[in-house]
Structure 1
Amino acid sequence: MTTTERLLNLLSLLQTRRDWPGSLLASRLNISDRTVRRDIGRLRELGYTIQSTMGPEGGYRLRAGNVLPPIFFDDDQAVAVAIALSVATSVGAGIEDAAIRALDTIRQVMPLPLRHRLDALEITTVSSPGSAAPVTASLDVLVTLAQTIRDRQTLCFDYPTRYGADDGEQRAMRRVEPHHLVTSHSRWYLVAWDLDRKDWRLFRVDRVHPRIPFGTRFLPRTVPGGDIKEFVSARLKGSDVNEWACRGIVRLHLPASEVLPFAGDGKVTPADLHTCTLELGSWSWGSLAANFGKFGVAMEVVGPPELALAFEVLAERYAQSSKAFPQRSAVDT
């Protein structure tokens, strides 16, 4: 091997495990112990922090340094990183441009067969029907929150209390013990224990304005139920458990095949060739009735009574809205 090939192979080995005995490196590369020591010195001159380890044989350990030196991936690792960068543009973390540049950098140096593998993957991220529009959170804020979570430091930040038509956004200071960062439907959330309200809260990261310096350290609590995913899913549904607070069933005058693409997490059961039942959940009976109404066809409420009442209230409200709208004549149209 040339010196360059030998250095690249040596670096690749050092990245695959924590400690390498010098004699084992020499055996794997088919070189002498003296050449290993000389090549380790060359890598150190290139910016790699390689620590010598003590022991009967002595060895080496690749550690983090002051700068980011070149990193080498095997084929599967390179494709995995490229795929992750491809979908990073949809996570709403303000890293879209950096992800695109990094993907271009990796793609340029890929061997041709590996590049063909990557180019065959055309990845398109599509939001689910009815999901919230993507909102970008500041990368600096995300890193700040992650730091306080890691170091278990209390955090003060300004957070909107309401949005006024005249006076704009109004904020109040919140004091929390930050616990987790969560992303859902292209939005970032901070899960934290609110020290003033003495309860768990979910904060939109794009609305968080951290105050520095950070506060004192704290002992971490356990989220209700112990599962962060279940807890956040429940809170996003307006419930204390991962179930919708309100659930109901209607019979739609549509074939099941036409309802399924728009049912979301609902349950569709064919009744006959032309009708089906649909079970949905929501945080209120009014919003649940409105969700069923989006299909725009005749339907009958199967249950419960609260859903039927919500339909009556909604129908009356819609009727009043139409009466308030000025009638237009054929000449006007």
Structure 2
Amino acid sequence: MPKTSARLLSLLSLLQARRDWPGQALAERLEVSPRTVRRDVDRLRELGYPIVAFKGPDGGYRLDAGARLPPLLFDDDQAVALAVALRTAAATGAGIGEAAARALTTVRQVMPDRLRHRLDALRITAVERTPGPPGPQADPRVLMALSAAVHAGEVLRFDHSPAHAPRTDETGGSAARPRRVEPHHLVTWGGRWYLVGWDLDRADWRTFRVDRIAPRTPTGPRFTPREVPGGDVAAFVAARFRGSDGPDGWPCRGEVILGLPASEVSGYLRDGVVEELGPDRCRLVLGAWSWAGVAAAVARFDADFEIVGPDEFRDAVADLARRCARAAEQSGDTPQGG
């Protein structure tokens, strides 16, 4: 039977996870008698938790809303999840960074040493991007293991499964050799977690989806950290996801003189550069993963423009114009339904 303090923590965690709990179900989950559950409920009430009993065929308990906030108790997984959420919020620049940082400091002060050390090892870099559709979530235990290796400067060995199910050998283990990586940063991008590191076998920088990582133990030897290309991990990761090999931006960049004031254009740019040339003209430099993408990005402003260059961009605009003209002609020949 777990000690009383640990059992109280588990009981409180269960009551927080679900509105109504039959007494017998709580007893079975905690592996104690219903009488012990009643005594533990009384102890939590003495600590200020508003737990009410409800009648019924089974009878049970509910954690009610209280007039004041009683002392908070978290199990290990909850404490780590809270710390990860607060640290991520503090790094995103979402307008709550200062409050999140102060809340993280408060939580850290009441954590036991074993959790405080894990929290201190957590390093997060947030790269701003609109989150995509919900997908597989990273295991908090894997996040903490990777963060510990980043903090300690130890080589990681792990299996990294592709988008499809990983191949296995006859023993059920991974058929591929484990990756050997010098881990440098954990980053968030588009609602997912990624590990940025130097791949020792490929002699190059790589990004790995954390939800596809299965760490192997033990970790490898310590290493001297390399500098991420450009020195800015956020810029480096953003460039990689644009398809660029360097940290300087998109692989395709085009320049135009746009027939709009700079003030109307700047509000719709994330990484473009706009320069005012007059009350109704501006110079605009935009990037994308393809020349067709640059052409489409300029066309969306619905204004006349003059192409400055380069020639690849000029050709892409001409191709886009031909496609649009053909589509308009075909639409005019299509019989209208009625």
Q: Which residue of the other structure, out of 257, 261, 266, is the alignment partner of 2:267?
A: 261
Q: CA deviation at 1:262?
A: 0.2
Q: CA 1:256/1:150 → structure 2, altered by over 3 Å: closer, same or farther?
A: closer
Percent identical among aligned pairs is 38
Q: Distance in 1 between matches of 2:333 and 2:218?
A: 60
Q: Which amino acid aligns with 2:207?
A: L
Q: Distance in 2 between matches of 1:143 and 1:241?
A: 27
Q: CA deviation at 1:245?
A: 3.0
CA contact (8 A) 2:160 2:179 kept: no
Task: Show the counterpart of 1:156.
Answer: 158
Task: Show the counterpart of 2:209.
Answer: 204
Task: Show the counterpart of 2:253.
Answer: 247
Q: Distance in 2 between matches of 1:197 and 1:317?
A: 41
Q: Which amino acid aligns with 1:147?
A: A
Task: Show the counterpart of 2:142.
Answer: 141
Q: CA deviation at 1:90?
A: 9.4
1:182 correspondence with 2:199:
no
RMSD, matched Cα: 4.1
1:302 correspondence with 2:308:
yes
Q: Which amino acid aligns with 1:141?
A: V
Q: Which residue of the other structure, out of 324, 331, 335, is the alignment partner of 1:329?
A: 335
TM-score computed with the length of structure 2 as normaliser: 0.50
Q: Which residue of the other structure, out of 195, 216, 219, is the alignment partner of 2:220?
A: 216
Q: Distance in 2 between matches of 1:269 and 1:253?
A: 12
CA contact (8 A) 1:252 1:300 kept: yes
Q: Deviations over 1:213-257 (max 9, x none)?
A: 344324234135472525434434413232433322112233322
Q: Deviations over 1:9-62 (max 9, x none)?
A: xxxxxxxxxxxxxxxxxxxxxxxxxxxxxxxxxxxxxxxxxxxxxxxxxxxxxx
Higher deviation after alignment, 219-228 or 259-268: 219-228
Q: Which residue of the other structure, out of 192, 196, 208, is the alignment partner of 1:191?
A: 196
Q: Distance in 2 between matches of 1:297 and 1:249?
A: 15
SS at match of 2:302: coil
CA contact (8 A) 1:251 1:276 kept: yes
Q: Distance in 1 between matches of 2:166 and 2:332?
A: 36
Instruction: Give the aligned length.
Output: 215
CA contact (8 A) 2:292 2:320 kept: yes
Q: CA deviation at 1:309?
A: 1.2
| Gapped regions of structure 1 (runs ≥ 5) | 1-69, 72-80, 92-98, 107-126
1:282 correspondence with 2:285:
no
Q: CA deviation at 1:260?
A: 1.4
Q: Deviations over 1:300-321 (max 9, x none)?
A: 2122222101212334455566
Q: Distance in 2 between matches of 1:141 and 1:134?
A: 22
CA contact (8 A) 2:187 2:194 kept: yes
Q: Which amino acid aligns with 1:289?
A: A
Q: CA 1:253/1:219 → structure 2, altered by over 3 Å: closer, same or farther?
A: same
Higher deviation after alignment, 266-275 or 132-141: 132-141
Q: Which amino acid aligns with 1:303?
A: G
Task: Show the counterpart of 1:47.
Answer: none
Q: CA deviation at 1:156?
A: 1.4
Q: CA deviation at 1:87?
A: 7.1
Task: Show the counterpart of 1:291.
Answer: 297
Q: Distance in 2 between matches of 1:169 and 1:330?
A: 47
SS at match of 1:244: coil
Q: Distance in 2 between matches of 1:279 and 1:186?
A: 28
Q: Which amino acid aligns with 1:145?
A: L
SS at match of 1:271: strand
User: Which residues in structure 2 correspond to 1:1-333 (within 5 Å)?
Assistant: 85=86, 88=89, 131-133=130-132, 136-151=137-152, 152-160=154-162, 168=164, 174-177=178-181, 178-184=183-189, 186-206=191-211, 208-225=212-229, 227-229=231-233, 230-237=235-242, 238-318=244-324, 328-332=334-338
Q: CA deviation at 1:278?
A: 1.2
CA contact (8 A) 1:270 1:276 kept: yes
TM-score computed with the length of structure 1 as normaliser: 0.51
| Gapped regions of structure 2 (runs ≥ 5) | 1-70, 73-81, 93-99, 108-126, 168-175
